[in-house]
Copies of this chain bind each other. A is one copy, B any other.
Amino acid sequence: MKVLLSGFEPFGEFKVNPTLEMVKEVQELGVEGVEIEIIGLPVVYGKCVDQLLAKMEEVNPDVVLSCGLAFGRAAITPERIGINIQDTAGEGDKGDNQGDKPVDRSIITEGPDGLFTTLPIRLMVERLVQEGIPAQISNTAGTYICNNTLYGILHHMHKKQLQIKAGFVHFPATPDMVVNRPNVPSMSMSDQVRGLALMIEAIRDSQTN
């Protein structure tokens, strides 16, 4: 089984993005029976998907698992659905790394409104919980770059009728990111790395069964 992991480049006030560190660490540590490729994606609407699809073309994976930061969440949260919208009008009003601030803009004109992940998210969450790592299925990936990435790859697979397992997982902030905002939950990098490896194992096991 070949897995393509993606993380993101830094954005906002943060100088590193833990998701990129995380996919590098998991690649280095390895998962038995799994070949791991990685890519860092730009925090830019549209481009995030373009670069992920180009990498898929290149490495031809069985599984694509994209990783993003959900500052404020306390658990690892595999996403159920990507939706056909780009919107930065919510709380925070942050544009992407090129200053784009869309409001209620479609990702793909005429694309379906929402597309479910093809990852076995229930099994992934169960594996994490068994191993003592807080996790739950999330029903919204938001309307920012993370959702754009998720919807973009699912739409590509839908259009091309590809049988790849693809999806997106949101991770909490790491403790160092919240030292000045001590009410914001965090999760240690080692638990996040372990969690990512466990989810890859759960996907691998679901394939072979």
Q: A151-193: contact bitstring with B at CB < 8 Å (1 yes, 0 no)?
A: 0000000000000000000000001101111111111101100
Smallest beta-carbon distance A25→chain B, Å: 16
CA A188 to CA B133, docked complex, whole Å: 10
Contacts of A61 in B (CB 8 A): none
Chain B minimum-CB-distance residue to A178 = B134
- Say yes or no for A122: interface residue by CB 8 A criterion: yes
A29 in the interface (beta carbon within 8 A)? no
Number of copies of chain A assembled together: 4
A89 to B187, CA, bound (A): 23
Min CB distance A84 to B, Å, is: 8
Give the number of chain A interface residues (Cβ < 8 Å): 47
Instruction: Select one of B77, B83, B87, B134 contacting A186, CB under 8 A.
Output: B134
Partner of A74, one of B89, B122, B184, B191: B184
A137 neighbours in B (Cβ, 8 Å): 87, 89-90
Given contacts A115-B113, A122-B103, A142-B139, whether A175 and B81 have CB atoms under 8 Å apart is no
Instruction: Closest B residue to A77 by CB, please name it.
Output: B182
Q: Is the CB of A182 within 8 A of B115?
A: no
Q: Is A91 in contact with B136, judged by CB distance below 8 angstroms? A: yes
Whether the Cβ atoms of A186 and B185 lie closer than 8 Å is yes
Shortest CB–CB separation between residue A169 and chain B, in angstroms?
Answer: 13
Q: Does A30 contact B (CB under 8 A)?
A: no
Most buried by B among A143, A179, A182, A187: A182
Contact of A71 with B by CB under 8 A: no
Question: Judging by beta carbons under 8 Å apart, are B139 and A143 in contact?
Answer: yes
User: Nearest Cβ distance between residue A38 and chain B, in whole angstroms?
Assistant: 24
Told that A103-B122, A132-B175 touch, could you supply 7 new A-B pairs with CB distance under 8 A?
A74-B74, A74-B182, A74-B184, A81-B114, A113-B115, A133-B179, A139-B140
